[in-house]
Amino acid sequence: MALLAASVVAALGDRTVAKAQLTILCSIPSGAQREDLHLDSLHERYGHAIRCELSTPAVAARRCGSWVSPAVPSLVLLRAGAIVGLAVGRLSRREVELLVERAMDGGPDRR
């Protein structure tokens, strides 16, 4: 997991600024691919307004106070600590973008 986190940080660089409006908590269970979450696409499109954080399912569940799948990739979208969007499983890039857009416009949205 540490190697995966390091590769995402390297790919995203310093574009994850502290003033991000939306935090996307990316839960990637063992065996899943980060490409399943479309992180590169999200940062290309919304890098100015989002902050992506990688975690294990257990850490994500504790952090957001909600169930997070231990078996499939999940995205938990947080604003000021509140869940404003949730995606469980593999979604298309467009479905993930729509989820982020709805969350940025005020959410909540669950898929």
Which CATH number goes with the domain that contains 100?
3.40.30.10
Residues of the domain holding 93? 2-110
Residue type at position 45: R
Query: CA-CA distances (angstroms) from residue 13 to 61, 83, 84?
Result: 25, 25, 25
User: Into how many domains does the chain fold?
Assistant: 1
Least reliable range by pLDDT among 4-13, 18-27, 31-40, 101-110: 4-13
Positive or negative CA dihedral for 10, 13, 19, 22?
negative
23-78: per-residue pLDDT in tens? 989 888 887 766 666 778 888 888 888 888 888 999 999 988 888 999 988 999 99
CA distance between the termini of the chain: 25
Q: Is the pLDDT score of 110 beyond 50?
A: no
Q: How many whole angstroms separate alpha carbon 35 and alpha carbon 65?
A: 25
Higher pLDDT pick, 71 / 106: 71
For the chain, give me the number of helices (H) and strands (E)?
A: 4, 5
| Mean pLDDT of the region 3-26 | 54
